[in-house]
């Protein structure tokens, strides 16, 4: 192989987009660049109290151009740009958007540029809880189980629930919406100069895990399934897709416009997109039956197994199992937690509230020093909490928590659920509460492993990926203790972007299989955490409490039945 062959991996996260320029022969990272979405950073188009989280496509487009050009500039050698052979991207998901017939997101049209319903509906947007519930009830009416490949429960984080909610909510968007497109499918379409949504190559990753596409169904469920749910969905199946593609396939070549904008050749191959955790699992060198945990704001847990070994086993309550969604030729199974790092970030915001709201009123320090102090303390809170929490003796009676602060993704999706902190006393301080929150997220992770094991798909090992895995030995050691299993931490800081680069190299024909790209470009592992047997015993007892309290919360989170409401009203009147 020529040493001067390069590829670019682009990773769209919740807060930013990152591009990496990689040597396709050995995986050496030549340059990387990150772009934080400016509109998102300001909180534009989001209403957290209503679980509304929207992102403007301009944040994506501007970040795409800025980071790739920055990587090429850092490389400092014009010959490198000429030797770039492929680009692939991953994104969060399900993060869909309303588009017109040309495949243009409505928010890029003048009349919709400030309309949140015309923007990408971020994965963690839970405004469609009602619609997801309706889909789950509606599916029971059919002889064919159209939810069987998505764990049996449809989530408000996914494609159809979000489409139905937007159509019901906004008449103008409804009238202009020709089709509905995932972020991971739109970026390759954009880069290849697509102008007809019917020609967009849809990823089997997004289609199988979020859109109810399956070979068994001949594609999507039939039109009747959707129109009998709500007539507003009429016609959408024929304006969506029947064929899907694995991410080792080309979506096309870089358009002349984008080649000029980026300073690359129009011979550059653009690969079919996928979700971040799926490509991250490849970048982290996933192995059969090893759960690859991408740990960031949420977690996405990936497992691959030979298709003939999984056969007709269906793991209930996960985010789906789709042939080829992670590695072509293998069954890809996905699970995850709706909040992981977001749980710690929430607690940090609670602790920061006095500083953020009162420092500006201080007569002791000026505004410049107040801002500097705010930033300094913000950076130190989580590391210091981790340090102090690690020193707290483990006891069966410590404070404990349930981690559903953004609902529950798996097992058994339920976005109506809420988190809880229990066992508080006057001695409960910030490190103790933080420790309980960390433990709860580890218990939530164990629930996923238990579900796989119980239903005949064994988890034989754990691989940790992402920011939390790399930066927090405290959390990772607790994860090993709670799981009572070792967990290996991948060396790469950017497994999702590196995974995208591996797929770019495969789509461009540099490697014939993504497994070959993994072997050549993988960076290996640089840490491993082993469980402490005595601590594991205590966590096993506390896990029982976690399960019991979770059951109690779930029981009391269900909406009151009409008769219950009537009984209470009658009692009040009496």
Q: What pLDDT, in 10s, does the model give residues 386-409?
A: 999 999 999 999 999 999 999 999
Considering the domain boundaries, does residue 296 fall inside one? no
Mean pLDDT of 208-232: 96
484 and 522 part of one domain: no
Considering the domain boundaries, does residue 113 fall inside one? yes
43 and 159 part of one domain: yes
347 and 274 part of one domain: no
How many residues are given for the chain?
Answer: 574
Q: What does the block give as tokens for 271? A: 């690969």
Q: Which positions ≥6 away from 568 have C-beta within 8 Å?
A: 560
pLDDT in tens, 139-157: 999 999 999 999 999 999 9
Query: At 571, is the pLDDT very low, low, confident or very high (cuts 50, 70, 90)?
Result: low
146 and 33 part of one domain: yes
242 and 351 part of one domain: no
Of 546, 565, 254, which Cα lies nearest the Cα of 403? 546
Mean pLDDT of 416-440: 96
- Model pTM? 0.88
Instruction: Give me the long-range contacts of 418-425 (CB less than 8 A, separation at least 24).
Output: 418/553, 418/557, 419/339, 419/343, 420/549, 420/553, 422/549, 423/397, 423/398, 423/399, 424/399
Per-residue confidence (pLDDT) for residue 361, from 0 to 100:
84
569: pLDDT strictly greater than 60: no
507 and 538 part of one domain: no
- Residue 321 to residue 214: CA distance in whole angstroms: 10
- Residue 447 to residue 410: CA distance in whole angstroms: 8
- Structural domain harbouring 371: 337-491+532-555
Q: Percentage of the chain surpassing pLDDT 70? A: 97
φ, ψ of residue 290 in degrees (nearest 5)? -105, 120
83: pLDDT strictly greater than 50: yes
Considering the domain boundaries, does residue 198 fall inside one? yes
42: pLDDT strictly greater than 60: yes
431: domain CATH number is 3.30.420.40
Mean pLDDT of 111-115: 97
The mean pLDDT of the chain is: 94
* Crossing angle of the two packed helices 495-507 and 514-521, in degrees rounded to 10: 130
Among the residue ranges 77-91, 341-355, 391-405, 553-567, the one predicted with the least confidence is 553-567
45 and 55 part of one domain: yes
Considering the domain boundaries, does residue 163 fall inside one? yes
97: pLDDT strictly greater than 70: yes
509 and 540 part of one domain: no
490: pLDDT strictly greater than 80: yes
Considering the domain boundaries, does residue 208 fall inside one? yes
Mean pLDDT of 414-433: 95
Per-residue confidence (pLDDT) for residue 235, from 0 to 100:
95
pLDDT in tens, 223-279: 999 999 999 999 999 999 999 999 999 999 999 999 999 999 999 999 999 999 999
397 and 409 part of one domain: yes
Of 192, 187, 195, 196, which Cα lies nearest the Cα of 264? 192
Higher pLDDT, 360 or 197: 197
502 and 539 part of one domain: no
521 and 509 part of one domain: yes
Looking at the structure of the chain, the number of domains it has is 2
557: pLDDT strictly greater than 70: yes
272 and 347 part of one domain: no
Angle at 279 (CA atoms; ends 276, 283), nearest 5 degrees: 120
Per-residue confidence (pLDDT) for residue 564, from 0 to 100:
46
Query: At 319, is the pLDDT very low, low, confident or very high (cuts 50, 70, 90)?
Result: confident
350: pLDDT strictly greater than 80: yes
Per-residue confidence (pLDDT) for residue 568, from 0 to 100:
43
């Amino acid at each position: 192989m020529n040493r001067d062959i390069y590829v670019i991996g682009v990773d769209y996260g919740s807060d930013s987009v990152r591009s990496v320029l990689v040597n396709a022969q050995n995986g050496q990272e030549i340059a990387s660049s990150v772009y934080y979405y400016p509109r998102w950073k300001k909180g534009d188009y989001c209403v957290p109290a209503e679980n509304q989280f929207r992102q403007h496509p301009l944040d994506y487009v501007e970040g795409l151009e800025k980071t790739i050009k920055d990587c090429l500039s850092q490389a400092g050698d014009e010959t490198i740009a000429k030797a770039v052979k492929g680009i692939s991207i991953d994104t969060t998901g399900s993060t869909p958007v309303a588009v017109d017939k040309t495949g243009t997101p409505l928010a890029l049209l003048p009349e919709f540029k400030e309309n949140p319903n015309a923007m990408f509906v971020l994965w963690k947007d839970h405004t469609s809880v009602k619609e997801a519930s309706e889909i789950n009830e509606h599916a029971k009416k059919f002889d064919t189980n159209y939810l069987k490949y998505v764990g049996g429960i449809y989530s408000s984080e996914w494609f159809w629930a979000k489409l139905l909610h937007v159509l019901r909510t906004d008449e103008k968007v409804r009238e202009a919406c020709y089709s509905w497109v995932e972020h991971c499918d739109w970026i390759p379409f954009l880069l290849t100069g697509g102008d007809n949504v019917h020609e967009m190559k849809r990823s089997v990753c997004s289609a199988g895990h979020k859109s109810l596409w399956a070979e068994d169904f001949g594609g999507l469920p039939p039109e009747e399934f959707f129109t009998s749910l709500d007539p507003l969905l009429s016609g959408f199946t024929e304006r969506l897709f029947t064929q899907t593609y694995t991410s080792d396939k080309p979506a096309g070549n870089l358009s002349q416009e984008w080649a000029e904008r980026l300073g690359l050749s129009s011979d550059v191959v653009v690969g079919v997109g996928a979700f971040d955790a799926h490509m991250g699992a490849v970048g982290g060198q996933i192995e059969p039956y090893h759960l690859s945990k991408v740990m960031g704001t949420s977690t996405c847990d990936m497992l691959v197994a030979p298709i003939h070994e999984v056969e007709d086993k269906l793991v209930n309550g996960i985010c789906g199992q789709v042939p080829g969604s992670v590695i072509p030729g293998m069954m890809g199974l996905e699970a995850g937690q709706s909040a992981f790092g977001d749980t710690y970030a929430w607690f940090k915001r609670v602790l920061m509230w006095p500083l953020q709201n009162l420092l500006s009123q201080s007569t002791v320090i000026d505004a410049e020093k107040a801002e500097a102090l705010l930033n300094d303390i913000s950076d130190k809170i989580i590391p210091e909490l981790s340090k102090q929490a690690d020193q707290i003796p483990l006891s069966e009676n410590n404070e404990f928590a349930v981690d559903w602060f953004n609902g529950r993704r798996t097992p058994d999706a339920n976005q109506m659920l809420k988190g809880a902190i229990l066992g508080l006393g006057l001695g409960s301080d910030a490190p103790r509460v933080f420790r309980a929150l960390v433990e709860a997220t580890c218990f939530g992770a164990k629930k996923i492993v238990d579900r796989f094991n119980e239903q005949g798909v064994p988890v034989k090992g754990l691989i940790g990926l992402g920011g939390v895995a790399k930066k927090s030995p405290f959390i990772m050691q607790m994860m090993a203790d709670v799981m009572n299993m070792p967990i290996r931490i991948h060396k790469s800081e950017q497994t999702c972007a590196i995974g995208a680069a591996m797929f770019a190299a495969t789509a461009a024909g540099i490697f014939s299989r993504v497994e070959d790209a993994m072997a050549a470009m993988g960076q290996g592992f640089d840490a491993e955490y082993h469980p402490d047997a005595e601590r594991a015993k205590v966590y096993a007892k506390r896990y029982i409490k976690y399960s019991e309290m979770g059951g109690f919360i779930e029981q009391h989170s269900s909406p009151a039945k009409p008769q219950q409401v009537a009984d209470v009203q009658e009692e009040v009147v009496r």
